[in-house]
Structure 1
Amino acid sequence: MTTVTAQASRSVLTKVLTPALVLVMLTVGAAQAQLSKIEKKLVANVDAHRAEALKLLEEVVNINSGTMNFEGVQKVGQIFRAKLDALGFTTQWIDGKPFQRAGHLVARHAGKGKTILLIGHLDTVFELSSPFQKYTVENDSVVHGPGVGDMKGGDVVIIQSLQALNDAGLLKDMSIIVVMTGDEELSGEPLALSKYDLIEAAKVADIAIGFEDGDGLPETANISRRSSSDWTLKVTGVPAHSSQIFTDKIGAGAIYEASRILNLFYNDLSKEPDLTFNPGVILGGSTVEHDINKNGGSAFGKGNIVSKEVIVTGDIRTISPEQLDKARETMKRIVAQHLPQTNAEITFDEGYPPLAATPGNYELLKHFDKVSRDMGFGPVTANRPRDAGAADISFTSGYVDMAIDGLGLGSAGGHTVHEIADPRTLAMQSKRTAVLLYRLTREKVSSGR
């Protein structure tokens, strides 16, 4: 099983990324005639610092920064903080104690013109208990490591692109905010505190750019992101000897009721475009002990005892607030239709909001697409919302005129021990980002609204 999964991750990079990059290598020289003298200087700077950038990527990947490893998250944050300090940013470490996490790195560079917010995150899904801890190089197009794609590679893209702008004497005039959160993979609570600094940055920004890996394809970018929030279903029944099930007094039992509810969730909602809802954990029986902090628990029951209780936890993802409200109302209606002698309730937690595909986001994608074409890297199209998960950029929704995400490395196997990335895309994304930032801060950019 392990070998097959690893090969599947590698296959994604081999089949999708490699042909595109080979074509780029053959055409990029001629296409750069579309770049100005200053833009060519930015490209040359990225190439000159390629080895340095890869060394930085290896350094931060080799530091475990699972969300709950506060020391590791802070250590990675301090490395990026030092890089931003050296570029003239005013940096601040936001203590995460109020929301039970390590904290965030926020850096500001005062300038003129449009304010651009660059978003990354320091944490990964791989805690200290994970067997996946180290950065390894397979060949010139495949590197392995926890967070190499999601998203320490994207963080390095931020640093390398800003370094190129600084070396060219361009950064001094730019208004840039960098926010690298420490809890993207497992948000602290309450979200009002956890995402406060990110939202405050969005309020003063005109444009937001995220460096998650999106669907892992450099030829796509996110102009929308689905929401992500949790739900909990609690079901109770009347415990009794199994010989009495279905009688008027005992009824159907908790497990039958939970099964009814989940089946109707599927029947009524599974065909809704861009909507997903997943029951990730289910515990049922005579007694249930649920540990919410460990996303699990234990249950006891016997085949000859009618089940007393069931707990189901899951998530729901939608493309718009309206779709989320509609889905929740449907789920509540289904839950309220109890089988005999059972009861059930469903609760919904706060979570990541959706990022809608606004005209401004489409306009920003057009700018990024033109940069990519002018550099010889080919077109960039919007990916399908279902091909990428939730991300911090969603918290900029409603505050910025334009937003785009997915500018991280070409990657595959995210959130698994087979996570890999194509290191060649580090320079590619850094070049595209540096030129994009240069153009956005000098051209008159319409939001499309």
Structure 2
Amino acid sequence: MILNTQLKQISLFASLAFCTLSMAQQDKMEKKILKSVDKHLEASIALLKKTVNINSGTMNFEGVRAVGTLYKEELDQLGFETQLTSGEAYDRAGHLIAKTTGKKGPKFLMIGHLDTVFELDSPFQEFIMLDDSMMKGPGVADMKGGDVIIILAMKALKDAGVLEDMSVEIIMTGDEEKSGSPLELSKKDLIDAAKRADIALGFENGDNNPKTIVVSRRGSSDWQLTVTGQPAHSSQVFSKEVGVGAIYETSRILNEFYLQLANEKDLTFNPGFILGGTDITINDDLTGGTAFGKNNVVAEKTVVHGDIRAVSPEQLKKAQDVMTKIVQAHYPKTTAELIFNDEGYPPLALTEGNTKLLGIYDGVSQDLGFGPVEAVNPRNAGAADISFTSGHVEMALDGLGLTGGSGDHTIEETGDLNTIATQAKITAVLMYRLMKKELGE
């Protein structure tokens, strides 16, 4: 099995090495693809505007399904087998899954998501045009623009007469912004699809620079620190009987995290929430709570909730080991417990396959006159669903979505509509060339 996989990878890499063509060598099929994108562009922008104006905050299940239904109808018309799944088992709206079962070329997995961070109580509910091409709206870049690009690329491949020969699976999740639990159920459809695929393409917006693409993403997981001390009158702090209290111990731990790990390349760890005192009550979701304490009483307890982002599983493990060792070295009369939440987003590790696919993507972009594309700094791209394909596919790229804007996850989110056609053209031609070259044509 291992030998067969290695041979398959060698064969795929070898064929990809000859994948780029000059504009003068473009075949008729590629010209059909480009013409189709232009033909359907206006309708695609209309679809984007319509779906941006539908609130699909993760917890607005009805809105998430409404957006999924519109995209489902588009893919139905292209001959995909589609379904909207139930997310009841993990308390979310569910996903949109679409498949074609062609027999030629590599198996593609294309990844989008239906939900946004803007719930029903957000003041940001509809788009406005800032000029002829710049749209400001909830989820325009993250990532309804990317979803529309997927559909437009599929239309172009359909019009060119090659889609029916291709194996393509599209997963648009309903809980990318706030994952359902347990994660093993929430991401099962995505992981299963990755296991069937050879190449994964994600349509998040990367760092919003059309000249970059994502070959590696940092993972994201949570950690919780709970510290206890000996409560007493403040006049006895630092004594042998009382020690330093919970807050001093917490400050020692956080400071050591910084001193020992802050210079680790591509690693970040952020204590986003802290509460301490004589008596504390923490909300179940660790987003708030209450604390009681007096300036003349040594603090008995603190709780800190944070995240950690690493570029590889090895880097994450190393950082967790260092943090654990720091926590184990207590100040007098204190104890501490550090818990890591395994239900986070894994890293999308940089691989040889991802790097090779970037080279092919860059060649297509230059052939089509859109200029060179390079890898984005992984610190400039957050966690995303494509990370769940890591270790399952031979090649993966992300950041293929609508770009050129700014303000993701804020009420200032924007995206440049001019990049819809660009990204769809590169995507469709890339997929066509990958199919064609694997077949030796």
TM-score, with structure 1 as normaliser: 0.90
Tell me, yes or no, if the aligned pair for 1:34 and 1:374 is still in contact at 8 Å. Answer: no
Tell me, yes or no, if the aligned pair for 1:223 and 1:365 is still in contact at 8 Å. Answer: yes
Counterpart in 1 of 2:288? 296
Aligned-residue offset at 1:35: 2.7
Counterpart in 2 of 1:371? 364
Counterpart in 2 of 1:429? 423
Counterpart in 1 of 2:269? 277
Taking the aligned partners of 2:93 and 2:137, their CA distance within structure 1 comes to: 21
Alignment of 1:443 with 2:437, yes or no, is yes
Aligned-residue offset at 1:292: 3.4
**Closer/same/farther in 2, CA of residues 74 and 294 from structure 1, 3 Å limit:** farther
Counterpart in 1 of 2:232? 240
Where does structure 1 lack aligned partners over 5 or more consecutive residues? 1-30
Aligned-residue offset at 1:32: 4.7
> 1:45-95: CA deviations, max 9, x gaps?
111222111111111111111111111111111111111111111112221
Q: Aligned AA for 1:84?
A: L
Aligned-residue offset at 1:293: 2.5
Aligned-residue offset at 1:141: 3.1
Counterpart in 2 of 1:382? 375
Tell me, yes or no, if the aligned pair for 1:34 and 1:375 is still in contact at 8 Å. Answer: no
SS in 1 for 2:408: coil
> 1:119-148: CA deviations, max 9, x gaps?
001111111111111111010231101111
Alignment of 1:79 with 2:70, yes or no, is yes
Q: Aligned AA for 1:355?
A: L
Aligned-residue offset at 1:280: 0.7
Taking the aligned partners of 1:57 and 1:211, their CA distance within structure 2 comes to: 14
Counterpart in 2 of 1:419? 413
Aligned length: 416
> 1:219-248: CA deviations, max 9, x gaps?
111111111100000111122222221122
Taking the aligned partners of 1:268 and 1:362, their CA distance within structure 2 comes to: 31
Counterpart in 2 of 1:27? none
**Closer/same/farther in 2, CA of residues 132 and 442 from structure 1, 3 Å limit:** same
Map of 1:299-314 to 2, 5 A cutoff? 299-314=291-306
Alignment of 1:70 with 2:64, yes or no, is no
Counterpart in 1 of 2:6? none
**Closer/same/farther in 2, CA of residues 170 and 179 from structure 1, 3 Å limit:** same
Map of 1:11-410 to 2, 5 A cutoff? 32-113=23-104, 114-293=106-285, 295-350=287-342, 351-410=344-403
> 1:172-225: CA deviations, max 9, x gaps?
111100000111111111111111110100111010000000111111111111
**Closer/same/farther in 2, CA of residues 313 and 389 from structure 1, 3 Å limit:** same
Taking the aligned partners of 1:302 and 1:47, their CA distance within structure 2 comes to: 67
SS in 1 for 2:30: helix
Taking the aligned partners of 1:426 and 1:122, their CA distance within structure 2 comes to: 17
Tell me, yes or no, if the aligned pair for 1:35 and 1:375 is still in contact at 8 Å. Answer: no
> 1:247-298: CA deviations, max 9, x gaps?
2222111111111100000000000011111111111112222113262222
Taking the aligned partners of 2:122 and 2:24, their CA distance within structure 1 comes to: 47
Taking the aligned partners of 1:297 and 1:336, their CA distance within structure 2 comes to: 26
SS in 1 for 2:201: strand
Taking the aligned partners of 1:301 and 1:32, their CA distance within structure 2 comes to: 71
Structure 1: 4+ residue segments shifted above 4 A: none
Taking the aligned partners of 1:347 and 1:408, their CA distance within structure 2 comes to: 35
Tell me, yes or no, if the aligned pair for 1:220 and 1:381 is still in contact at 8 Å. Answer: yes
**Closer/same/farther in 2, CA of residues 414 and 383 from structure 1, 3 Å limit:** same
SS in 1 for 2:348: coil
Tell me, yes or no, if the aligned pair for 2:286 and 2:305 is still in contact at 8 Å. Answer: no
> 1:368-395: CA deviations, max 9, x gaps?
1111001000011111111100111111
Q: Aligned AA for 1:381?
A: E
Tell me, yes or no, if the aligned pair for 2:32 and 2:159 is still in contact at 8 Å. Answer: no
Q: Aligned AA for 1:377?
A: F
Paired-residue identity, %: 58
Aligned-residue offset at 1:341: 1.1
**Closer/same/farther in 2, CA of residues 342 and 160 from structure 1, 3 Å limit:** same
SS in 1 for 2:333: coil
Q: Aligned AA for 2:220?
A: S
Counterpart in 2 of 1:9? none
Tell me, yes or no, if the aligned pair for 1:32 and 1:40 is still in contact at 8 Å. Answer: no
TM-score, with structure 2 as normaliser: 0.92
Where does structure 2 lack aligned partners over 5 or more consecutive residues? 1-21
